[in-house]
Amino acid sequence: MAQSTFNPYNHFGFLTNRVARLIVRSVEAMPEEERPQFPPSCIGILADLWSKDGVNQKDLGISLVKTKSSINKMLTALENEGFIVKKEDPNDGRGKLIFLTEKGKEMQFIIESKSKEMEEMLLGDCSSEEIKTAKMVLTKMYKKLYKRVNENDQEGHLQFMKEN
């Protein structure tokens, strides 16, 4: 019977989905003190801005794989908390550019160290070669998927996409 031959954890679709969700859960389970003061989903927006400040909402949506309405709502929350500001795009009257405030910039070092800490905790028994390979494979998947999903989008929006 087919029953015992299927292993979800041998498929990237399941594996990435579950690992991603567990990471979020794991962050949420942190003690109040250690955890950032905003919902984990918003970290993604800040991360993009740390990488490249002053982007528009559309590109954030593409990068985070969320719709523009979702991005809009998250930005409103982040703006109310004082992490980002929206400014008119001087070159395009339709668009707005998103910039980090000082408060938003300061977050980078905190989050980055937490991320490193967690990675060490989770992957203490993997060699740095293996970790590198895993990130490389995921990044390749990302690029292929990105192109597939945004195929009518000629210019690569993301900084890292331009590197290749």
Partner DNA sequence: AAAATAAAGTTCACTTCTGAACCTTTCGTT
Partner DNA sequence: AACGAAAGGTTCAGAAGTGAACTTTATTTT
- Is the CB of residue 86 less than 8 Å from the CB of residue 75? yes
Can you state the angle between helices 68-80 and 57-64, rounded to 10 degrees? 110
Collapsed DSSP state (helix, strand, coil) of residue 13: helix
* Residues 129-143 as b or e (16 or more Cβ within 10 Å = b): eeeeeeeeeeeeeee
Does residue 96 touch DNA according to CB under 7 A?
Answer: yes
Site size toward DNA (CB under 7 A) is 26
Beta carbon nearer to a copy of itself, 62 or 75: 62
Does residue 21 touch a copy of itself according to CB under 8 A?
Answer: yes
- Residue 82 CB neighbours (<10 A): 11
CB of 129: closest distance to a copy of itself in angstroms?
8
Taking the C-alpha atoms of residue 106 and residue 103, their distance in angstroms, rounded to an integer, is 5
Does residue 36 touch DNA according to CB under 7 A?
Answer: no
Does residue 92 touch DNA according to CB under 7 A?
Answer: yes
Does residue 103 touch a copy of itself according to CB under 8 A?
Answer: no
Residue numbers of the site for a copy of itself (CB under 8 A)? 2-4, 6-26, 29, 43-44, 47-48, 50-53, 63-66, 105, 108-109, 112, 115, 118-119, 121-123, 125-126, 130-131, 133-142, 144-146, 148-149, 160
